[in-house]
Amino acid sequence: MKIFLKPSLIFGSIALSFSINLYTQGSEAYPDREWQETSAADAQVDQAKIDRLFDLSFEDSATQGVVLIKDGLLVGERYADGYSKDSYGTSWSMAKSFYAALIGISIDRGEIDSLDDPVAKYLDYFNDERRDITLRDLLDMTSGLEFPEHEHENMFFSSDHLDYARNVGVEKEAGLMFEYNNVNSMLLADILLQATGTAADTLLRERIFNKIGLDDVTLWQDATGTPLTYCCVDTTARQYSRFGLLFARSGNWNGEQIISEKFVDETFSKVWDSLNSSTIAQDRGYSLHWWISRYDDRAFIFNASGKFGQYIFIDRANDLVFTRITKYSSTGDSKQNWGALKYINWLGSIDFRIALAVFLDSIGMVELEGDVATPVTLADGTSKEFYSNYGMIVDALVDISQP
């Protein structure tokens, strides 16, 4: 998706003061090993409104599961036939929001000075024509790095994703143009390693996931063992919702400030607006690796978003989290290995490669489960109606908190 717009450049806590710490109006419940469940009536939510949200989501046969959390309690969930609360999905680009949070934590700890630091301060190979690009530019998708027609999806099919990202040059001035570039996010793996001395996936487990009980998870690496910081965290819809609750609660988890409230405030500000795509024909916004799905008088709804239709929606003012994932069959393992498919990974478009891999699997030349290890979403997990229903789904989510 290539967008040429002027950014609104609204930094800081714009119109957000009313939402800070409003979760104290609820029970301040947090999940232990399992989510505590409650009825819609006890959560003071209209069951018919929940049903509408879920029905709209399941008009798309790609939907694997949905989970609704209100005031830290599970008030509803639904799964497609053959799936359950224990079924894994894959995050695709929702992982961008996870790893971006580590930048905020490193700022809190003094390992990184500021979002406005040049990337070259942490990556010496950026001390070239890329020297003016800042960490904020990476997180706001305004780096100006090269953005080819294939939008760097070819990086996913390489053996060394970080080496690919290191060698992407600059194309335009930073800070002026929104371009959703996976290379921006992959570079976080190296920035976090240089700033902390620890691999980004280890940081994600130790600094966030273990603290919020998100321990039933697969964090994907490329073939060299480098964490994929732009995609690919596998877990359940319930578990993804824990990360949503952390941001809904301003970075606080049961009394521990895991991510500073200041960084969450800045994340939930509007930097870009009037963004749309070929899949979602609705104006959206973007800030620090989060999408903005509603920003008006009725509600501020932010979401982590992943390819094929993975979402964690956050209504921070109303302490509400809604997670939706699509159908997924893991190929196993956590380190990417293309096996025999490496010989076709340079052929044609991404869709062509996926179709060819499925065909080769169907005739027995390649076994996707066994010969190959990688996140993969097939046709049954690729969203259609969820995208066309997107506006109604966001409206239904907003309506849940309305009297």
pLDDT tens track for 65-82: 999 999 999 999 999 999
Dihedral sign, Cα of residue 155, residue 161, residue 164, residue 165? positive
Confidence class for position 305, pLDDT limits 50, 70, 90: very high
pLDDT, tens digit (0-9, with 9 covering 90-100), for 362-401: 888 887 777 889 998 989 999 999 999 999 999 999 999 9
Out of 158-162, 277-281, 330-334, pick the least confident.
Answer: 277-281
Return the pLDDT at 39.
98
This prediction has a pTM of 0.91
Q: Which two tokens stand for residue 149?
A: 């027609």
**What radius of gyration, in Å, describes the C-alpha atoms of the chain?**
20
Instruction: Check pLDDT > 70 for residue 323.
Output: yes
Out of 112-121, 140-149, 304-313, 350-359, pick the least confident.
Answer: 350-359
SS (H, E, C) the chain: CECCCCCCCCCCCCCCHHHCCHHHHCCCCCCCCCCCECCCCCCCCCHHHHHHHHHHHHCCCCEEEEEEEECCEEEEEEECCCCCCCCEEECCCHHHHHHHHHHHHHHHCCCCCCCCCEHHHCCHHHCCCCCCCEHHHHHCCCCCECCCCCCCHHHHHCCCHHHHHHCCCECCCCCCCCECCHHHHHHHHHHHHHHHCCCHHHHHHHHHHHHHCCCCCEECECCCCCECCCCCEEEEHHHHHHHHHHHHCCCEECCEECCCHHHHHHHCCCCEEEECCCCCCCCEEEECCEEEEEECCCCEEEEEEECCCEEEEEEHHHCEEEEEEECCCCCCCCECECHHHHHCCCCCCHHHHHHHHHHHHHCCCCCCCCCCECCCCCHHHCCCHHHHCHHHHHHHHHHHCCC
Q: What is the mean pLDDT of residues 232-248?
A: 98
Q: What is the mean pLDDT of residues 291-314?
A: 95
Nearest to 192 by CA among 143, 251, 267, 138: 138
Instruction: Check pLDDT > 90 for residue 153.
Output: no
Domain layout of the chain by residue ranges: 42-331+378-396, 338-372
Q: What is the mean pLDDT of residues 239-253?
A: 98
Chain-wide mean pLDDT for the chain?
A: 90
Q: Which CATH class is domain 42-331+378-396?
A: alpha beta
In the chain, what percentage of residues exceed pLDDT 70?
91
